[in-house]
Amino acid sequence: MSGPLLKVENLTKHYPLGTGFLKKSVPVIRAVEEVSFSVEAGETLCIVGESGCGKSTVARLLMRLVEPTGGRVLLDGTDIAGLKKEALHAWRRRIQMVFQDPYSSLNPRLTAGRIITEPVENFERLSRKQRQALAADLLRKVGMSPEMMHRLPSDLSGGQRQRLGIARALSLNPSLIIADEAVSALDVSVQAQILNLLRDLQQQMGIAFVFISHDLGVVEHFAHRVAVMYLGRIVELAPCEALFTKPVHPYTEALIGAAPVPDPRRVRLEAPVEGEVPSPINPPSGCAFHPRCPLALERCRIEVPPLVPMPDGRVVACHVRAPATDIPGRPVLAGDRWSL
Ligand SMILES: Nc1ncnc2c1ncn2[C@@H]1O[C@H](COP(=O)(O)OP(=O)(O)O)[C@@H](O)[C@H]1O
Ligand code: SF4
Ligand SMILES: [Mg+2]
């Protein structure tokens, strides 16, 4: 099959506020607005942005846990919206999720072995022997001893519980794993172990990741490409190294510039840019970043900037740094790139 493994086209999710029974139009929370990206087999696409910018909603839309207001999600070219029961089942096997808090996402009454074999048992009956063999294999894959299969989640450390969450996601041999803040609750040293594990698994099994994090530092050494979200929209999507060495969008630049010295890899996106994140109920007109942007022009208050492809393979939504009228092939990063 040629083409990307996952293709997301203009994905949009609005949550209505109330029923609007007596009102003509119901106000909505614009959680995700026209998000488009693709993920190749075996690739890691990281999605970063401040809290509330719509990252988890994108994850839920990809998993089909919520219905989109608009747009499409295609896996190997097939739109999930049209799938009937069996095809949807098969589709679900291929995309798995790892959550932020392994403790609340694991059934506390089941043993580790049961937890990680449960997804398979939802599809086929396993004998006790088969189940134990599968559990041992999955535990080994995530660097745990097979004896751990008899333990309860409460007997495990945070890192071990997250390994269990990963083993569970691996059990159906997925093509794509969506990890939503999967290492955010862990200590820095455990974070590094889990990221190494994910990278090893990717190399061995060719799994693609959509890895969501508010922590730019986590993403830098893990992503192949990075999508930066602001108030529901992607504002820049670039190869990882290019993004960190030459951010183009003023928001990306501010995030990277906010890296605290002496360890520039540890960037927390809680409040990296001056000013409040505006409300997604009534987002600013034009470019939603304009109230916080030092480069904002009059045009920025009026027109939403489109995502414009750059010669180095990234896309950027900014009237100043990536004007839509630019000729493709323009050396955007050369010389006086900021004096456009
Ligand atoms: N089920 C929901 N109902 C209403 N609003 C929601 C719901 N889920 C998320 N939101 C809102 O959508 C916006 C994006 O949320 P979310 O995707 O969780 O952001 P992130 O994961 O980036 O922190 C937030 O304003 C949030 O309050
Ligand atoms: S479009 Fe305007 S307001 Fe938005 S990031 Fe670019 S310069 Fe700033
Ligand atoms: Mg979230």
pLDDT per position as a tens digit, 127-138: 999 999 999 999
Distance 325 CA to ligand 3 centre (A): 35
pLDDT at 153 over 50: yes
Q: Is the distance from the beta carbon of residue 182 to the nearest atom of ligand 2 less than 6 Å?
A: no
- Global confidence as pTM: 0.90
pLDDT tens string 68-123:
999 999 999 999 888 888 888 888 889 999 988 766 778 999 999 999 999 999 88
- Examine residue 109 and state whether it is found in any structural domain, yes or no: yes
* Residue nearest ligand 2's atom 4 by CA: 287
Give the C-alpha separation, 212 to 201, whole Å: 18
The CATH number of the domain holding residue 113 is 3.40.50.300
pLDDT at 30 over 80: yes
Q: Is the distance from the beta carbon of residue 319 to the nearest atom of ligand 2 less than 6 Å?
A: yes
For residue 54, the ligand closest to its alpha carbon is 1
Q: Is the distance from the beta carbon of residue 247 to the nearest atom of ligand 2 less than 6 Å?
A: no
Q: Is 117 left (phi over 0), alpha (psi -120 to 50) or beta?
A: alpha
Rounded (5°) CA angle 318-324-325:
140
**If you average pLDDT over every residue of the chain, what do you get?**
88
Which is more confident, 165 or 217? 165
Give the C-alpha separation, 241 to 308, whole Å: 19
Distance 151 CA to ligand 3 centre (A): 29
- Examine residue 1 and state whether it is found in any structural domain, yes or no: no
Q: Which atom of ligand 2 is nearest the CA belonging to 299?
A: 2
For residue 31, the ligand closest to its alpha carbon is 1
pLDDT at 267 over 90: no
Expressed as residue numbers, the domain containing 313 is 6-339
- Examine residue 170 and state whether it is found in any structural domain, yes or no: yes
Q: Which atom of ligand 1 is nearest the CA belonging to 15?
A: 4
- Examine residue 299 and state whether it is found in any structural domain, yes or no: yes
2 confidence band (pLDDT: 50, 70, 90): confident
pLDDT score of 190: 92
- Within 8 A by CB and 6+ apart from 301, the residues are 284, 285, 286, 287, 290
Q: Which of 16-25, 269-278, 312-321 has the lowest mean pLDDT?
A: 269-278
H helices within 206-238, ranges in order? 216-220
CB 281 within 8 A of CB 29: yes
By percentage, how much of the chain surpasses pLDDT 90? Answer: 70
pLDDT at 261 over 50: no
Question: Which of 112, 107, 200 lies closest to 148, judged by CA?
Answer: 112
H helices within the chain, ranges in order? 55-62, 85-94, 102-105, 112-121, 128-141, 158-170, 188-205, 216-220, 240-245, 250-257
**Consecutive H or E run containing 212:** strand 208-213
- Examine residue 23 and state whether it is found in any structural domain, yes or no: yes
263 confidence band (pLDDT: 50, 70, 90): very low
Q: Which atom of ligand 1 is nearest the CA belonging to 212?
A: 21
Q: Is the distance from the beta carbon of residue 320 to the nearest atom of ligand 2 less than 6 Å?
A: yes
Mean pLDDT over residues 295-312, rounded? Answer: 95
| Lookup result for tokens 């003509």 | 24
pLDDT score of 88: 83
Question: Which of 102, 97, 46, 58 lies closest to 267, judged by CA?
Answer: 46
The dihedral over CA atoms of 133, 134, 135, 141, expressed in degrees to the nearest 10, equals 110
Residues with CB under 6 A from ligand 1: 15, 29, 31, 49, 51-57, 280
Q: Which of 252-256, 261-265, 314-318 has the lowest mean pLDDT?
A: 261-265
pLDDT at 265 over 70: no
pLDDT tens string 170-212:
999 999 999 999 998 888 899 999 999 999 999 999 999 999 9
52 confidence band (pLDDT: 50, 70, 90): very high
57 confidence band (pLDDT: 50, 70, 90): very high
Which is more confident, 216 or 289? 289
Q: Specify the 3-state DSSP secondary structure of 111.
A: coil
- Examine residue 262 and state whether it is found in any structural domain, yes or no: yes
pLDDT at 273 over 50: yes
pLDDT score of 6: 97
Q: Is the distance from the beta carbon of residue 134 to the nearest atom of ligand 2 less than 6 Å?
A: no
* CA dihedral (333, 298, 269, 183) positive or negative: negative
Distance 46 CA to ligand 2 centre (A): 23
- Examine residue 74 and state whether it is found in any structural domain, yes or no: yes
CB 278 within 8 A of CB 291: yes
Give the other-Cβ count within 10 Å of 234's Cβ. Answer: 26
Burial class (CB in 10 A: 0-12, 13-18, 19+), 225: buried
- Examine residue 90 and state whether it is found in any structural domain, yes or no: yes
- Domain count within the chain: 1
Greatest mean pLDDT among 115-124, 227-236, 252-261: 227-236
